Amino acid sequence: MSEPDRQRADSGRGAAAAARDELLRAHYDEFRKVAGRVLNGDAAALQIQPTDLAHEAVIRLSGLNRLDFKGRTHFLSLSARVMRQILIDEIRRMRAAKRQAPPVSTQLPPELGAQSIDLEDLDRALSKLEAVAPDHARLVEQRYFAGLTLEEIAEIDGVSVRTVKRQWRAARAWLVSELGQR
């Protein structure tokens, strides 16, 4: 079966290909590498900013250089979830591999109380939010794991900035009280 046929056979019998899917898959390992390297430090405790990973990913993922700005933010938005998963997976892997794995924390932005929080706690909180309000959780991912601004998110999702801002404030308020309860 040739590639066109294979595509037809596997994509709900249509034509053309999953170019973006391909892009994401191609970069999955790069994300992992970026995350892995950050976590491989020998520090007693690690503090990382997920948005740094996103920025670094953009720079390191050579293919993204070819994308224009819009393509870039779009791709980042697409991969926010993947980045979050990878980060958490890598942390878990590191913990499994090292007997004395350091805790991995992140510094929340001032609007979220500027506190230092264990990344896995943040992930748990997000999963909880996801179960209730997936759109809001996705917004946090886009903002916090992909480093996108509210304006960029609005542009990508094709909604007004006002809508995104309202949703962001709801998600943020929920996170503040959720994390405050720990």
Partner 1 sequence: MDTSLTRRAFAVFENALDIDDDAERESWLVSTCGADDLLFREVKKLLRADAAAERAMPTGGLQPTAGPMPTRIGHYRIVDLLGQGGMGEVFVGARDDGLFDHAVAIKRVRPSLLPETSRALFDRERRVLATLSHRHIAQLYDGGVDETGAPYFIMELVRGAPIDAYAASADLSPRQIVEKMIAICDAVQHAHQNLIVHADLKPANILINEAGDPKVVDFGVARVLRDADDISLHPQTPGYASPQRETGASPTPADDVFALGAILRALLTGDAARRAQHTVLTSEAIARSAAFAARSGEWRSNRARLVQGDLDDIIERACAAAPEDRYQAAVALAADLRAWLETRPIAAHADDRVYVFRKFIRRRRWRVVAVTIGGFGLIIALMLTSTLYAQADFARKQAEARFAEVRNLAKYLLYDVYDRLERTPQTLAMRRDVARVAQGYLNQLADTPSAPSDVLLEAADGFSRIAELQAGRSRASLGDPVGALENLDRADQIAARLQKTDPANTGTLILRARVAIRHAAIAMNSRQELDSATELLAQASRYIAAIPPDTRVAKLLTAQHEMESAILGNWKGAYTESQAHARKGIAVAESLTPDPIDARETQYVLARLYDALAESVYYGVSVPESEPVYARLVEITSSYLASHPDDMLGQRLAIEAHWGLGATLLGLNRPKDGLREMQAAAALMPTLLQYQPEDTGAQRTQRIVHSALAQALAMSGRFDEGVALLREELAKSEELVRQTSSRPEQVRSYGVTLAMLADLYADNNIAKEACPIYAKAEQVWIELDKRGVLTQLDRDNAQKMVRERQAQLKCR
Euclidean distance between CA atoms 46 and 91, whole angstroms: 11
Least gap, CB of 132 to partner 1 (angstroms): 4
Q: Measuring CA to CA, which residue among 75, 87, 79, 78 is closest to residue 49?
A: 87
Site for partner 1 in 18-47 (CB under 8 A): 18-29, 37-38, 43, 47
Least gap, CB of 175 to partner 1 (angstroms): 8
Report CA-CA distances (Å) from 75 to 10, 150, 160: 23, 15, 20
Euclidean distance between CA atoms 104 and 144, whole angstroms: 16
**Sign of the C-alpha dihedral, residues 26, 29, 33, 36?**
positive
Least gap, CB of 2 to partner 1 (angstroms): 6
Site for partner 1 in 138-157 (CB under 8 A): 138, 142
Site for partner 1 in 49-108 (CB under 8 A): 49, 51-52, 55-56, 59, 61-63, 65, 77-78, 80-82, 85, 88-89, 107
Considering only residues 69, 96, 99, 132, which one is a binding residue for partner 1 as defined by CB under 8 A?
A: 132
**Nearer CB in complex with partner 1: 98/180:** 180
Are 17 and 25 in contact by the 8 Å Cβ rule? The answer is no
**Nearer CB in complex with partner 1: 56/121:** 56
Q: Measuring CA to CA, which residue among 181, 178, 180 is closest to residue 128?
A: 178
**Nearer CB in complex with partner 1: 144/174:** 174
